[in-house]
Each structure stands twice: as C-alpha cells, then as structure tokens.
Amino acid sequence: MHKTIATLRWEGGIDGYLVLLDQTRLPGTVVEVECRDVDTVLDAIVRLCIRGAPAIGCAAAYGVCVSLRGLPSGGKLSLANAKQLVEHACDSLATSRPTAVNLFWALDSMRQIARQATATTTTQLAELLLAEARAIHEADVQMCAGIGRHGADLLADLPVGSSILTHCNAGALATGGDGTALSVIFELARRGREPHVWIDETRPLLQGARLTAWELQQREIACTLICDSAAARVMSEGLVQAVVTGADRISAAGDAANKIGTQSVAVLARHFDIPFYIAAPTSTFDLSVDQGTQIPIEQRAAEEVICGFGITTAPEGVAVYNPAFDVTPAALINKIVTERGCVAASLPAIQKLFQEKCS
C-alpha cells in the first residue's frame, strides 16, 4: 500500500501557506502545489487542482488566511484595512465554483470571524482566522468519519463481497478527511465486508478513472473501472447491489446536485430496482434553495470535451454543451447519509434533521 498523501494541509503558523495535492496530475504524477497568495488558491480551485465540495470549502478557508501572510502587526497596516483584505479574499474565492455550497458556507464563516473579531492587531486577526480554518478542516475530518459509520450501518445487510457503484470522486481527495461516498466503502472494508466497487470513468475529466480508482488502489479495495455508458449493462447483469455518490449541493426538498452523469445513474438504478444513496455532510444542504431546479449549474469550457488531456476528439468548431453538474430529483434518492445519520430525501425529513441540529 502506498503512503497516504494529504489532499490539503497548512504548513506553519499565521505566516504559513496552503499545500494542495494537484489532482490534475493524478494518477500518473504526484505533485503538490504551494499556495502563498489568494490568486494561487483561486486558480487551484478553478482548474480543479483541488475539487470536491468539502475540500473546496477547506481550501477556501485557508485561502482567506493566506491573504494576511506577511502583513505587519503594527501601524503600517490598520486592522480595518486587514479586514478589507479578508473581505476581498472572500469575494474573490467565491467566484471560483458556483455550485459547491460548502465553498460559500466556509467563506461565510471566515467573514463572520473577521467582522466580529475582538482582535486589536492584524496578528491577532490572522490567528483567529487560522484557528477557524483549522476548525473547519478538523470538522470535515470528523464529518467524513460519521458519514462512513452511518453509511456502513445502512448497508450492513448486504452480503460480504457486495458490489457498490459510484460516480465521480467522493473520497479523501474530495474532502479534508476520508471522503463522503468512499468513506462508506472504507468503513465497510474496515468491518471486513470486502466491498467491491464499480467505478464510472466520469466524463469528460475522468475523475472516476483518474482519482477514485487511484484512491481505492491505495487502500487495496477491489474495484473495476467501467465507461459511463456501461453502467446500465453492469446493472442489468445483477452485478450492482447499491449505488453511493456524493453531492455538491442539496436542496431543502432533497434534490441533489452532483457531477454530471449522476442523474443518469439514479434513473438506471430506479429502473433496475437498485437502492441509490447520496453521502454528504449537513453543510452541503442549502435550505435557501427550495427545489433542485434553483441550484446554479456551473458551465465549463468546451475544450474539456473536444480536447481533453491534449487529445482532439471532435471536429473544430462543433458546438459543445458542458455542464459540470446535474440534479438528481429527491424521488430517485433512497436515503441521504450525513454525519448525523441517514435521512429521507424529503422536505419534512430534512427540516426535522436541521431542527434537531439546532436544538
């Protein structure tokens, strides 16, 4: 088994920097990127060096911290000006990925720390912000562990060696911890359930082929890679006992936005009577969005489809529609697995979940 490499980490104290595992280079090359300014963090998120809703949130929180790197604590920069830099960093990072709600949740937390801070120097402000970013990161680690436990409990009745299909990447590469969907797989493996995973390649950027397959091999978990278009065939042969994916935003009604192609998998699962589960933290729910149709869907460059990884696969000038996400209706989701337990994909159940969280 290879040595586990952290998806993201903070090096040093308040004058430190963010280090990211460059996922655009996997699986062939393991390279880390040092982010010492906000623009570098922004670029890393936009170009998918770091991706996955929880991981994006953690990276953005640390990105706010780098906005104050090297700033003097004395009179050369007022505390008010330092807070303005934080606001500017939050505004800039918020433009990176419009669909992942964890990004905005993390930035809102950092804004509140800066706005409500009792700090009297820029050093104290930087310390408060770094402490909050670290708390967001640690909470994500614990969140992943909780999702893994509840998801494994949900699938406890599956026979040993059962096969689970997943789409895109929702593992340690997508979070600050062990992942969301893959944390369920990892926990099943720890319990001796010997899961096998069918991995959709996940066009056009192949997050399943490049990242999920890499992660599962790192953990020595049995897996088989398939083309996205092969999912129906595999299901029709009775080779899939459950589907588990992550999510980037979940509406108040339980509709879930995830990587493009997830909705197709959910439709197939319903046709073949296979349970379809979403694994996501409570921070992925956006209760301000009533229905999935209101979730903004990021549109990405045509080059990802016609010239992915430097190889031209379509004629020059062809029109391209390249949404990064689709929305799976709540009616197709059997359960949503959160760090607080499993919940039905319905407005009443989700409202109850959050009422219990606040009580």
Paired residues of 163 in beta bridges: 196
**Alpha carbon 278 to its chain's center:** 12
Q: How far is CA 113 from CA 73, 77, 116, 125, 134, in A?
A: 18, 19, 5, 8, 13
Give the tokens for residue 359: 């009580």
Structure confidence at residue 74 (pLDDT):
46
> What's phi and psi for 244, nearest 5 deg?
-135, 125
Q: How far is CA 202 from CA 143, 173, 265, in A?
A: 25, 15, 11
Question: Domains of the chain by range and CATH?
Answer: 8-142 (1.20.120.420), 147-358 (3.40.50.10470)
Q: How far apart are CA 283 and CA 151, in angstroms?
A: 17
pLDDT, one tens digit for every residue, the chain (359 residues): 345 679 999 999 999 999 999 999 999 999 999 999 999 999 999 999 999 989 999 999 999 999 998 775 544 668 889 999 999 999 999 999 998 889 999 999 999 999 997 888 899 999 999 999 999 999 999 999 999 999 999 999 999 999 999 999 999 999 999 999 999 999 999 999 999 999 999 999 999 999 999 999 999 999 999 999 999 999 999 999 999 999 999 999 999 999 999 999 999 999 999 999 999 999 999 999 999 999 999 999 999 999 989 899 999 999 999 999 999 999 999 999 999 999 999 999 999 999 986 65
**Which residues carry out catalysis?**
248
56 with 100: CB under 8 angstroms?
yes
Structure confidence at residue 127 (pLDDT):
95
Supply the DSSP symbol for 3.
P
Q: How far apart are CA 331 and CA 347, in angstroms?
A: 11
Q: Which of 159, 340, 166 is nearest to 243 (CA)?
A: 166
352 with 345: CB under 8 angstroms?
no
- Based on the number of CB atoms within 10 Å of its own CB, is 169 exposed (0-12), middle (13-18) or buried (19 or more)? buried
| Helix H or strand E segment including 164 | strand 163-166
Q: Render 46-70 in DSSP notation, one character per residue.
A: HTTSS-SHHHHHHHHHHHHHHTTTT
